[in-house]
Every structure is written in C-alpha cells, then in structure tokens.
Structure 1
C-alpha cells in the first residue's frame, strides 16, 4: 500500500479535507487491512507521481491535531486518478427502469383487495354453518 496516496485519498474524503489524527489512523488501518485491491490501486496511483512527498511538496498541512489536504494536494491527487479512455466501456445504468405512465402500477393490488373480503366472508359463513 502506498502510504502517501492513502493519506491523500482519506483527507479528500473528509469535509474541508481535514481529519484528526485518530480518525486518519483509524481509516489507514481499515484500508491497510482491506485486501490486495486497495494496495494495488494505491501502488498504481503512486507510480504516476514517483517523487511524491506530502509535506515538502506542501500537499498536506499539519493543523490542530490533524492533517488537511491543500489545493495543491487535491490537484496532484487528480493527476494520479485513472481516467477512462474512449475505448473503455462506460458502466451500465443500474437504476430500475421507470414504469410507463400508461401502465397503472396499482391496478393489480386493488383487484386483490376487492376479492379479499369475499373470501373472508365465505370462510366465516362456512365456519358458522360447520360449527
């Protein structure tokens, strides 16, 4: 896992790019144990900026018991993020299709509700006459 890329990714996910040290350490521990996918991803991203140094390049600043990503840090992270090429397939839309306005969505349940009292009435009558 590329430690410096991980710090940038964590900080950018927080409001105003600021995370306290305990929060940053917790998130680092979670990502460090999340499996080989995260490690491979941060390694690939880090390879795009091999001389990455968070503090000497002023990508992250120390503030009030925590760290905050700078605008420069956001720009470097943006450069490291992979971009889809024209040849890559766009992810398909996984939203549920919308119903046509011509298809009444509640017609079947209404029909079932109309039949239900009839069935209940018959049962009651048969029970009364049986007993």
Structure 2
C-alpha cells in the first residue's frame, strides 16, 4: 500500500498531476531508496488507508501518455496527510482551576529590578575576586 501512496505523492508533485510511466518509475525508485524517513512516512500514511487501490477508487487514471492523479485523488491524499486530532482526556484550559491573580500583573518580570540585581552581583563578584587577590599577595 505504501507504494500506491508514493505514486500519489509523485503524481501530485508533477505539473498537471501527470507523469509518464518511465518518469514515475524513476521517481518512485529514488524515493523508495532515499532512506528510512521516507519509508516510515509512507507506511504511516498507508496505515490510514487500508485496502487502498488507487485505480479502482478513481484516484489515478491510466492514459497512453502516462498516469494522471484526479481531483478526487488529490483530495484523498490531502485527507490522509492531515494530522488527526486525538481526543484529549483533560481540557486544555480549565478556568475554574486557574490561579487567581493577586495584585496587578503577578506574572510580569520587572526587567529594571533584574538589571539592578545583575549589576549588584557583578560588583560583589568583582569585589570578592579583588579581596582574594589581595589576600593571596599578603601571604608570607
């Protein structure tokens, strides 16, 4: 089934959704050998479409010049590529469980205080280093 998904992807990427059988074979071979990422992705998509038959479903038409993806085929491909929203066991946001703010904007970081604290720490560290150097020089 992942082969048929790959065919849909290749055709969807071609101008007008059409490719000769030779081009299609070459592109499918390149993608199939491109690594585990592609193979795993196609397997995941194929799992979302068990029993897929791209010809009997009308997703791909065979013509003398090659194969053509139909509008139905494009919609099908888009539908299996769309991530499924899994049901959540808990609500994303429960207003009754939200903490009640005390005072104005309790979640704001005051950058002016932060900068003052950084400067004070830097001055303390510099002073401690100077004291350490002075003490080292005074040792007999």
**TM-score class normalised by the smaller sequence:** 0.5 to 0.7
Query: Alpha carbons of 1:56 and 1:63: their partners in 2 closer, same or farther (altered >3 Å)?
Result: same
Report the CA distance between 1:51 and its aligned residue. 1.9
Question: Which sections of structure 1, spanning at least 5 residues, go unmatched?
Answer: 86-131
The match for 1:94 is none
The match for 2:27 is 27
Secondary structure, aligned partner of 1:67: strand
Report the CA distance between 1:84 and its aligned residue. 8.1
* Cα distance in structure 2, aligned partners of 1:37 and 1:14: 22
* Superposed counterparts of 1:64-79, under 5 Å: 64-79=64-79
The match for 2:12 is 12
Report the CA distance between 1:65 and its aligned residue. 2.9
Output the TM-score relative to the length of structure 2: 0.57
Report the CA distance between 1:63 and its aligned residue. 1.3
Secondary structure, aligned partner of 1:68: strand
The match for 2:45 is 45
* Cα distance in structure 1, aligned partners of 2:82 and 2:49: 12
Secondary structure, aligned partner of 1:54: coil
The match for 1:3 is 3
* Cα distance in structure 2, aligned partners of 1:43 and 1:2: 5
* C-alpha RMSD over aligned residues: 2.1
Report the CA distance between 1:81 and its aligned residue. 0.4
Secondary structure, aligned partner of 1:77: helix
Question: Which sections of structure 2, spanning at least 5 residues, go unmatched?
Answer: 86-140
* Cα distance in structure 2, aligned partners of 1:46 and 1:23: 22
Output the TM-score relative to the length of structure 1: 0.61
Whichever of the two has the greater Rg, that structure is: 2
Alignment check: 8 A CA contact 1:10 1:27 kept: yes
